[in-house]
Structure 1
Amino acid sequence: MGMVEIIEDLAEEAERQIHDQGWELSPADRSVAAKAAADLHAAVGTPQSQETLTEVDRLEHLREALAVLAIALAHVHGRLAWFLGAAATALTPVLHWRALPAGDGATFGAVQPALQEYTEAEDAIRRLQRTLDSINTA
């Protein structure tokens, strides 16, 4: 299962829990979700804007999105923390990617992803961003 599918499953579960009132959102949850959604959008904008960037810049933006999740996760507890933690875990392959050639040196296990993998990770982040927006407005 790829990143997009994992994030889609997490998003559907979060939306279902909120709809079924199993997850009661606190004002703090809403605030953190709103900030994280805005910051994710700033990190990984539209598909058109990302596709014009170099691989180095695309990878930088993906890592920035992971940092957004880590910061948001540090400020919450309970269901939102579990949701953000699972989302960050789904996106961890990004941490093993490199955009620069290895040359003759070691890469510490980093691999160069295919362009499609960048797109999939960006799509997963956009889905996550939409879910955080919906958490804020639920």
Structure 2
Amino acid sequence: MDMRTSIEILSEEAEQQLRDHVWAPTTADRTIAAKAAADLNAVISAPSAQGALPAIDRLEHLREALAVLAIALAHVHGRLAWFLGAATTALTPVLNWRALPDQHGPTFGAVEPSPQEYTDAESAIRRLHATLTHITAT
């Protein structure tokens, strides 16, 4: 399953739990979700702007998005932690991507992603942003 699909499934589950009142985010959850949403929005720009960037910058932004999620995860417990942990896990292939050529020898198994993989990962981050914004408003 690709990252975008994984994040869509996670987001739908989170939104369903919110609708069904299975998950009632605390004030701290909403504060952390709001900060993470704002930080994700600052890192991943609109599709046209993001797509115009060189691969190395796109990869940097995706790694920054993972850092945002990891920092938010470090400050929560319960359902928000479970959601952020699962989202971070879904995005871990980004950690094995490289934007530089492998002309200087082994790359520790890093692979060069396709343009579509960048686009899918960026779309997944935008979906996470939307879900975190939804959590904030709950």
Question: Do both proteins adopt the same fold according to a TM-score greater than 0.5, normalized to the shorter chain?
Answer: yes
- Residue by residue over 1:70-94, the C-alpha shift from the partner in whole angstroms, topping out at 9 and shown as x without a partner, is 0000000000000000000000000
* Deviations, residues 32-90 of structure 1 (Å, cap 9, x unaligned): 00000000011101101101110000000000000000000000000000000000000
Structure 1, unaligned runs of 5 or more:
none
The residue number in structure 1 matching 2:130 is 130
2:58 partner amino acid: R
The one-letter code of the counterpart of 1:29 is D
1:25 aligns with 2:16: no
CA distance in 2, matches of 1:132, 1:104: 41
Give 1:126 deviation, angstroms.
0.3
Q: Residue in 1 aligned with 2:4? A: 4
CA distance in 2, matches of 1:82, 1:52: 34
Paired residue type of 2:51: E
Distance 2:4 2:110 in 1: 21
Aligned position for 1:39: 39
Residue 112 of structure 1 is matched in structure 2 by 112
Please state how far the C-alpha of 1:105 moved relative to its aligned partner. Answer: 1.2
Shift in Å, 1:109: 0.5
CA RMSD of aligned residues (A): 0.5
Aligned residues: 138
How far did residue 129 of structure 1 move? Answer: 0.4
Give the structure 2 partner of residue 100 of structure 1.
Answer: 100
| Identical aligned residues as a percent | 66
* TM-score, length basis structure 1: 0.99
**Gaps in structure 2 of 5+ consecutive residues:** none
3-state SS of the aligned residue for 2:112? coil
Amino acid at match of 1:83: F
Where does structure 1 differ by over 4 angstroms across 4 or more consecutive aligned residues? none
Query: TM-score scaled by structure 2?
Result: 0.99
